[in-house]
Amino acid sequence: MSTPGNTAPLLELKGITKRFPGVLALSNVSFSVGQAEVVALIGENGAGKSTLMKTLGGVHQPDEGEIFFEGQKVTIAKVADAIALGIGFVHQELNVLDNLDVAANIFMGREPLVGGPLRLVNQRKMWADSEAYLKRLGLVISPRRILNELSIAQQQMVEIAKALSQNARVIIMDEPTSSLTLSETDRLLATIKDLRASGVSVIYISHRLGEIEQIADRAVALRDGRNAGELPRDRIKHENMVALMVGRKLEDLFVKGKGPQERGYFQVEGMRTPYRPHHRVGFEVAKGEILGFAGLVGAGRSELAQAIFGVEPPLEGTVRLGGQELKIRNAREAIDAGIYLVPEDRRHTGLITSMTIRENITMPGLRRYSPGMLISRAREEEVSNRQVASLRVKTPSIETRAMNLSGGNQQKVVLGKWLSLEPKVIIFDEPTRGIDVGAKAEIYRLMRELADRGVAIMMISSDMEEVLGVSDRVAVMHEGDITGFLPRERFSEKAIMSLATGRKAP
């Protein structure tokens, strides 16, 4: 094999074990990166990728195991140690100060000084040096631009420039493309190749296996906090990666159902959202059908969901349910009509995490459990206990605060809010984001059960496997329009991607 990593790894982790109370996050994990090598770190959510990288970044200390840098044993006790060794981090959620300019971000904490007792910052030098780093990344923006004027992709480049300015020899990128457009992603991948050519190594964490096929020299998979194998350059293929990550066939996760029962049950016509005022969207979902919504980030899927649910009321458009036209101006009216949303962001819009499971579940239907406006605790407990039992939420009691539950159980509580009422239409927005495989399978099963009971389901998902596995039919969106519908027999990743990028179906 020609991977440089085989001869003298630049960075090597050996037998790393990390325990958190009650959880073994990493168990005897080994990992290495060679000079000028791009290593992809893959694995399901919760597999331990972030924890492993945090031991490299100085955030966590491993309980067991050793770290070697250029063959020397090192201890990375704090973030500054990592920086001193030349390990740079580009975080998933950007760590920038968006009220300051580019140069200030790059040199944060290491500002060149003019000298003298006042510790005045040498602005000129900062701008000039920043410009050099930006140029190296092929970025033509002024170092005096304020960060919040830049796109997410540009802000990310600033983070990479910052890492370079710290003489980083290894740059860890955690899901760097999750909020980039397709062309921005291409540019980032090109930048990574340039970095490699100039001798910098990159650890690339991504769920987007296509990107990994393009750039990685080696892919290392983690599963349940253990090494699950690795793939050399010539074996980095989608199927191989999935097999390593999941350890079982994905098809096992998905359940077949009865399928559509009553066509035209839920209809949306000519809907214009404030987010995309010049585009009209129309579709229908049958009773018992799961209509998947695929598309790239920013295609307007979540905004469509929010418009239908009334939290961001549409500018125009009609919604019919069972032939009856509905007026939905706010979430209350949607809920009263039986249309519910399981939102993308559980922690901020799905739940009030500081409240208990009981309080969350009864929130939308509280009036029903409150004869004479006073809440009946007994009714509340009855309703929540029923949901917790039927959804199999793992919790000591219904009085546990939602913040103390795992992602999968939180999602079940969100679902419990709606199942305690009478759902007719449920919109799931990224229903399994950040949820481990076991809980995922349960959510899929629940969605299918609901559909079989006659609920019309819309499922927005950026997870291709999920879209193809769960949906009865897929609607693909591109920049605010639905570019096509695919029936099951025409399901393919290729067909979806070409519609998602605005091309016609092949």
Nearest distance, CB of residue 363 and other proteins, angstroms: 4
With respect to other proteins, which residue has the nearer C-beta, 23 or 120? 23
Nearer to other proteins, 232 or 434 (CB): 434
Q: What is the rounded CA–CA span in Å between residue 230 and residue 240?
A: 10
Q: How many Å is the maximal CA-CA distance in the chain?
A: 79
H or E segment at 30?
A: strand 23-34
Q: By C-beta, is 139 or 308 nearer to other proteins?
A: 308
Residue with tokens 């996760």: 253
Residue 462 gets which letter from DSSP?
Answer: S
Residue with Cβ nearer other proteins (32 or 395):
395
* Chain center to CA of 109: 30
**Residue 354: CB minimum distance to other proteins, A:** 6
Quick check: helix, strand or coil at residue 266? strand
Contact (CB, 8 A) for 276 and 300? yes
- The CA-CA-CA angle for residues 83, 89, 92, to 5°, reads 160
Entry field: residues in the chain: 506
| Least gap, CB of 376 to other proteins (angstroms) | 9
**Least Å distance between CB 300 and other proteins?**
19
Name the one residue in this structure whose structure tokens are 């100085």.
58
358, 438, 381: which is closest to 406 by C-alpha? 438
In whole angstroms, how close is the CB of 369 to other proteins at the nearest point? Answer: 9
Q: In whole angstroms, how far apart are CA 25 and each of 16, 48, 77, 210?
A: 10, 6, 18, 27
Residues that bind other proteins (CB under 8 A): 20-25, 45-48, 50-51, 224-225, 309, 311, 330-332, 334-336, 341, 343, 348-355, 359, 363-364, 366-367, 370, 373-375, 404, 406-407, 417, 434, 436-438
Cβ–Cβ under 8 Å, residues 417 and 346: no
What's the closest the beta carbon of residue 145 comes to other proteins, in angstroms?
28
Our CB check for other proteins shows the closer of 121 and 352 to be 352
What six digits make up the tokens of 213? 């096929």
* Separation of alpha carbons 30 and 19, rounded Å: 16
Rank residues 21 and 506 by Cβ distance to other proteins and give the closer one.
21
Query: Considering the complex, what minimum distance in angstroms separates the CB of residue 406 from other proteins?
Result: 5
Report the nearest approach of other proteins to the CB of residue 250 (Å): 15
Please report how close the Cβ of residue 405 comes to other proteins at its closest, in angstroms: 8
Nearest one of 195, 197, 199, 241 to 218, comparing CA atoms: 241
Comparing CB distances to other proteins, the nearer of 147 and 172 is 172
Cβ-based neighbour number of residue 435 at 10 Å: 24
CB of 279 to other proteins, least distance (A): 24
Which residue, 46 or 288, has its beta carbon nearer to other proteins? Answer: 46
Nearer to other proteins, 22 or 71 (CB): 22
Alpha carbon distance 378, 360 (integer Å): 15
Q: Name which of 103 and 246 has its Cβ closer to other proteins.
A: 246
Q: Which residues contact 324 (CB under 8 A, 6 or more apart)?
A: none
Q: Nearest distance from residue 224's CB to other proteins, in Å?
A: 5
Residue 362 C-alpha from the chain's centroid: 28
CB 281 → other proteins: shortest distance, Å?
21
Nearer to other proteins, 434 or 454 (CB): 434
Bridge partners, residue 460, by sequence: 293, 429
CB 143 within 8 A of CB 101: yes
- DSSP strand pairing (64-69 vs 9-20): antiparallel
Alpha helix (H) residue ranges in 121-206? 123-136, 152-165, 182-197
Q: What is the C-alpha separation between 283 and 304, in angstroms, rounded?
A: 11
Contacts of 362 (CB under 8 A, 6+ apart): 369, 375, 380, 383, 384, 420
Nearer to other proteins, 147 or 253 (CB): 253
